[in-house]
Amino acid sequence: MLPYYKRLYKKRANMGLVWYNKNNPEDSYEFKSMVLEDVYNFMDGGVCYMHMNFKAMNVTTRSEELFFAELALNNSVFDANGGYSTTACSIVDDSCAEDGLPEERYDENNCYACAEKIKHPTGTTYKGGHYAEDYCVGCDSD
Ligand SMILES: [Zn+2]
Give the model's pLDDT for residue 105: 84
Which amino acid is it at 44? D
C-beta separation of 43 from 72 below 8 A: no
Please tell me the distance between residue 106's alpha carbon and the centre of ligand 1 in angstroms. Answer: 14
pTM of the full structure: 0.87
Give the model's pLDDT for residue 94: 62
Give the model's pLDDT for residue 55: 97
Give the model's pLDDT for residue 28: 95
Kindly list the structural domains of the chain, giving each domain's residue range(s) and its CATH number in brackets, ordered by start. Answer: 3-125 (3.10.450)
Q: Which long-range contacts (CB under 8 A, 24 or more apart) does 128-131 make?
A: 128/42, 128/44, 128/45, 128/47, 128/49, 128/51, 128/70, 128/72, 128/87, 129/42, 129/44, 129/49, 129/51, 130/44, 130/106, 131/44, 131/105, 131/106, 131/107
Please tell me the distance between residue 73's alpha carbon and the centre of ligand 1 in angstroms. Answer: 15
Please tell me the distance between residue 43's alpha carbon and the centre of ligand 1 in angstroms. Answer: 11
Please tell me the distance between residue 69's alpha carbon and the centre of ligand 1 in angstroms. Answer: 9
Buried b (16+ CB within 10 A) or exposed e, 68-106: bbbbbbeeeeeeeebbbebbbbbebeeeebeeeeeeeee
Mean pLDDT by 10 residues, the chain (142 residues): 80 96 95 91 93 96 96 87 94 66 79 89 94 78 45
Give the model's pLDDT for residue 13: 97
